[in-house]
Amino acid sequence: MGKANKVVLAYSGGLDTSVIIPWLKENYGAEVIAVCVDLGQPEDYDAVEKKAIKSGASKAYIVDAKEEFVKDYVWPTVKAGAIYEGKYLLGTSFARPLIGKILVDIAEKEGADAIAHGATGKGNDQVRFELAIKALAPNMKIIAPWREWDLKSRTDCMEYAAKHDIPVVATKSHPYSMDQNVWHLSHEGGDLENPANAPKDDVYLVTHTPEQAPDEAGYVTVTFKDGVPVAVDGQEGTPLQLLEKLNEIGAHHGVGVVDIVENRLVGMKSRGVYENPGGSIIMYAHRELEYLCLDRATFHYKELIANKYAELVYDGMWFAPLMNALQAFVDETQKTVTGDVKLKLYKGNIISAGATSPYSLYSEDFVTFEEDDVYNQADAAGFINLFGLPLKINALMKEKAGK
């Protein structure tokens, strides 16, 4: 295992990371500094700080990064229209690079020679944390206890915690592995591990089920400027405020539930149920505005970029050179994605209810079925002849060759 003098630990206050603190001290002889990053997950952060110290940390940082998270990680992904495998809105994926960045910043500030995390050896998060650290601090030692220690289960961890006088609250009332931030809440494990099982109603902790949602539809208008929201129902706010408002509206109407069997980076499939009330509204509205504002060639090519962008984010490649290049392309396309999108929300459904933009490429004068003075329908004949010429030549060849 080697030695480390001072380790900065990504700390949540849960069982695993609380156990990691004494384990690092015992096995690496290191001073441990705990870092908990607030991305909007509901926690008693005073209690988290106290628990870290009680578990053996010499110091505990509580970092409020919610605004930075939405502005610098969520919004760029919204502009890209990046959705992994057509469903997953990347809530955990783009949170990890920011946490990694903060860990590096504090490690450099504290003079630490190692960073540790509590991600398991089966999941994607170990990759995301470590790629961020490698990109930002290439000489930093990384410690992943789940790949090293002899603790193999939650029961083992609880026994270890008891021996080290670490307070643990055990509960079976919500038997799912969860990750939450202001963008989403994920659920994995338990009965969800069988894809044949529908999620039970008590899975949902953020949004309503469709049955619980109001019987009357609601409406919301999202205003965008350069591809990102700047107002909700005419009221401006910070990125965080706007997302929180849309979370509230979306949850009330039961929108934003995603159930997906996704392909993990590490080679296996996993089943996740995600709650994204505000995120679902934003992504839907953003796409509606792009339908209005982007030309055909740009829109279609951007769809290809969005898939690659989502894959890079999912794989933890946030700080890769290709991400910077794709972001430059995305930002260029978003210069005209400005306007208002009105949506109807009803029992889990998001329905378009109109969109306007000063940069709209839609022209009623050209597209009307009524008589017009701007489009000569006879021009279509020449266009079709030229556009179809390769097909005609191919058919003539086959006719001549007798095929």
**In the chain, which stretches have pLDDT less than 50?**
none
Residues tagged active-site? 16, 96, 125, 177
354 has binding-site annotation: no
The string of DSSP letters for 193-237 reads GSTTSPPPGGG-SSSPPTTTS-SS-EEEEEEEETTEEEEETTEE-
Phi (first) and psi of residue 276, to 5 degrees: -135, 60
Q: What residue type is 351 in one-letter code?
A: I
Which of 19, 70, 13 minimizes the C-alpha distance to 44? 13
What pLDDT does 366 receive? 78
- H or E stretch at 344: strand 339-346
What pLDDT does 170 receive? 52
382 has binding-site annotation: no
**C-alpha distances in Å from residue 171, one per residue of 45, 154, 158, 175, 191:** 20, 12, 12, 8, 16
93 has binding-site annotation: yes
Q: Pairing relation of β-strands 269-275 and 185-188?
A: antiparallel
| Site of tokens 């020449």 | 382
What pLDDT does 12 receive? 93
The string of DSSP letters for 345-399 reads EETTEEEEEEEE-TT----HHHH-SS--SS--TTHHHHHHHHHTHHHHHHHHHHH
pLDDT digits (tens, 9 = 90+) for 55-110: 999 999 999 999 999 999 999 999 999 999 999 999 999 999 999 999 999 999 99
56 has binding-site annotation: no
Handedness of CA 169, 43, 123, 149 (dihedral sign): negative
362 has binding-site annotation: no
What pLDDT does 403 receive? 76
15 has binding-site annotation: yes
Sorted by where each begins, the domain ranges of the chain are: 6-164, 177-294+336-356, 372-401
Q: What is the CB-side half-sphere exposure of residue 212 using CA atoms within 13 A?
A: 13
128 has binding-site annotation: yes
Q: What residue type is 252 in one-letter code?
A: H
pTM equals 0.93
* CB-based contacts of 296, cutoff 8 Å, min separation 6: none
Record: fold of 177-294+336-356: Argininosuccinate synthetase, chain A, domain 2 (3.90.1260)
pLDDT digits (tens, 9 = 90+) for 180-216: 999 999 999 889 999 999 999 999 999 999 999 999 9
Is residue 90 classed exposed, middle or buried when 0-12, 13-18 and 19+ CB atoms within 10 A define those classes?
A: buried
Which of 282, 183, 280, 181 minimizes the C-alpha distance to 227? 282
What pLDDT does 173 receive? 58
357 has binding-site annotation: no
Record: fold of 6-164: Rossmann fold (3.40.50)
Q: What residue type is 402 in one-letter code?
A: G
